[in-house]
Amino acid sequence: MGMTVYFTSDQHFGHAAARGFYSRRFASTADMDNQMIAYWNSVVSPTDELWHLGDFAVRQKPERISHLLKLLHGRKHLIAGNNDNSAVRESGGWVSVQAYAEVNVDDVRLILCHYPFRSWRDMAKGSINLHGHSHGRLKPMPRQFDVGVDVRGFWPVTLDELLSAQVQRAKLDH
């Protein structure tokens, strides 16, 4: 089996307030972190590629960031979010770190940013915007997906999963 590309965002590792802010049903911050690590590693293999669209961890020491990144499977790219401080951005555990990226997956042009866009490059030509930040609180636009853990059951997702979920939703709406 070949490499799979996954997307996720907004774990807010170590952020106690995230449990209340986003109605996360975990017993404690440690429980939240441990379960999110388990979910991640249950789908992402060490050879898969993962694009993290920001807000990886909140106010954690560099050693903790490094430890988390070692525990988590995959070749990890960071699209930095508003909560990703220098400890997150400068960690050696990332293959790349940037604020924005354009990548092709399965011949689909993806526009990656922590923040959702109203319009994006090649929007009229079928490109797709993947984002985090809004924790499911934003009305979706066509060909735009919130990949944040609060929307995706705390699992990293593939482009195929996002597109098939969109098809399922369209069927339910009719």
Query: How far is residue 140's CA from residue 122's CA, in Å, rounded to a whole number?
Result: 18
Residue 168 pLDDT more than 70?
no
pLDDT band (50, 70, 90) for residue 174: very low
Q: Per the structure block, which two tokens stand in for 43?
A: 């789908």
Q: What integer is the mean pLDDT of 144-171?
A: 86
Domain 5-173 has CATH 3.40.50.20: no
Query: How far is residue 14's CA from residue 17's CA, in Å, rounded to a whole number?
Result: 9
Residue 58 near residue 15, CB atoms below 8 Å: yes
- What values do phi and psi take at 55, rounded to 5? 60, 55
Instruction: Report the C-alpha dihedral over residues 81, 84, 88, 94, rounded to 10 degrees.
Output: 0
Domain regions of the chain by residue span: 5-173
pLDDT band (50, 70, 90) for residue 1: low
- With a CB cutoff of 8 Å and minimum separation 6, the contacts of 4 are 44, 45, 48, 49, 158
pLDDT tens per residue, range 69-106: 999 999 999 999 999 999 999 999 999 999 999 999 99
DSSP bridge partners of 104:
109
